[in-house]
Structure 1
Amino acid sequence: MPLYEHVMIARQDLSNAQAEGLIEHFSTVLADNGGKVVEHEYWGVKTMAYKINKNRKGHYAFLKSDAPAAAVQEMERLMRLHDDVMRVLTIKVDAHAEGPSVQMQKRDERERGDRGDRGDRGDRPEGDRGERRERSFGGDRRR
């Protein structure tokens, strides 16, 4: 069967339990039509780039499925009819990536407080920015 990845955005005024209930509901829709959800992730409430249906935030969910095309079409149809679901994106993939999604990896790094990307700053005293070069403004303006 083909492999798919789905991202769903639900309304912000739902509780976390209700948003995860939507994931379970649509997983059963796939199962009833001959498919299965291999893995799912609840990404939490995130701010969107623009308003959708007067909402600035939404509950994001990510599903990896192994289902026939008819099952995916039925799930998408029901998602678009559901009042709590604002957007759906489905992509057909050749293989599912192992481990957590990139979004969950970012969350893990934030929770750990890892600041390894700042480089070695131990060789400079506090507040020292190093040598500054003289600026050139295209001509001598000190006349």
Structure 2
Amino acid sequence: MPLYEHVMIARQDLSNTQAEGLIEHFGTVLADNGGKVVDSEYWGVKTMAYKINKNRKGHYAFLRTDAPAPAVQEMERLMRLHDDVMRVLTIKVDEHEEGPSVQMQKREERGDRRGRDR
């Protein structure tokens, strides 16, 4: 099955447990349609570069999935209809990276970026 990565931004006035509940909810939507969530990360509340629906901050979540295209389309459709979800980004990838995403790594662990000492 194809591999996908999803980033979701939920409204800032949700609690952490409600935001994590959204991740579980959309994971069950995938499972009902023949897919599975390989890994999920809750990134927490972050400040956005610009306002979306009068919100300056949002709950960010990241999902790595292994699902057929119709399952992903159904999950995206339900995400876009859900009142608490503000934005969704889905990317098809060749393979999932091992370990935590870049957002969850500490600066020292990233290592592959050049220094800013110029």
The aligned residue for residue 93 of structure 1 is 93
Per the alignment, residue 64 of structure 1 pairs with: 64
Identity of aligned residues (%): 89
What is residue 77 of structure 1 aligned with on the other side? 77
Corresponding letter in the other structure for 1:16: N
Query: What is the one-letter code of the residue matched to 1:9?
Result: I
Matched to 1:32, the amino acid is D
Query: Which is bigger in relative contact order (C-alpha 8 A, separation at least 6)?
Result: 2
Code of the residue aligned with 1:70 in structure 2: it is P
Greater per-residue strand proportion:
2
Q: Deviations over 1:53-79 (max 9, x none)?
A: 000000000000000000000000000
Matches within 5 A, 1:1-143: 1-106=1-106
Query: How many pairs does the alignment contain?
Result: 111
**Segments of 4+ moved more than 4 angstroms:** none
Long gaps (5+) in structure 1: 110-116, 120-143
Unaligned runs of 5+ in 2: 109-114
1:103 deviates by 0.1
Q: CA RMSD in A?
A: 1.5
Q: Which has the larger radius of gyration?
A: 1
Amino acid at match of 2:62: F
SS of aligned partner of 1:63: strand
CA distance in 1, matches of 2:36, 2:70: 13
CA distance in 2, matches of 1:46, 1:68: 31
Distance 1:98 1:56, change over 3 A: same
Matching residue's letter, 1:59:
H
- CA distance in structure 1 between the aligned counterparts of 2:13 and 2:81, rounded to whole angstroms: 18
SS in 1 for 2:19: helix
Q: CA deviation at 1:118?
A: 9.7
